[in-house]
Amino acid sequence: MLFQVEMTVNLPPSMPTKQADEIKSTEKAYSQDLQRQGKWRHLWRVAGSYSNVSIFDVEDNAELQELISGLPLFPYMEISVKPLCRHPSSIREDDS
């Protein structure tokens, strides 16, 4: 199943820089691993904000919840999820 996931990160201003850098580094490794597995299919930054729009390709809602809640930045995120399905006019073969 494909899902569009919008994530906005809101780190507390009081968080020490070293702690924030460690969380971001762990987050990067985790997200890149999911991308290599094909579960996190696309990842785009939203210009001018600490946000992204992503496409996940997972088995079901439960797997998506597990992956998203495993993000190190999860406690600091506002997240919006939209399920997607193939558009009948799409010419792409790999968008289902």
Q: What are the structural domains of the chain?
A: 2-84 (3.30.70.1060)
Task: Express each pLDDT in 74-86 by its tens digit.
Answer: 999 999 999 998 8
Position 41 pLDDT exceeds 90: yes
* Mean pLDDT for all residues in the chain: 95
Task: Express each pLDDT in 51-95 by its tens digit.
Answer: 999 999 999 999 999 999 999 999 999 999 999 988 889 888 776
CA–CA separation, 72 and 28 (whole Å): 9
pTM as predicted: 0.91
What ranges in the chain are assigned the alpha helix state H? 17-36, 61-69
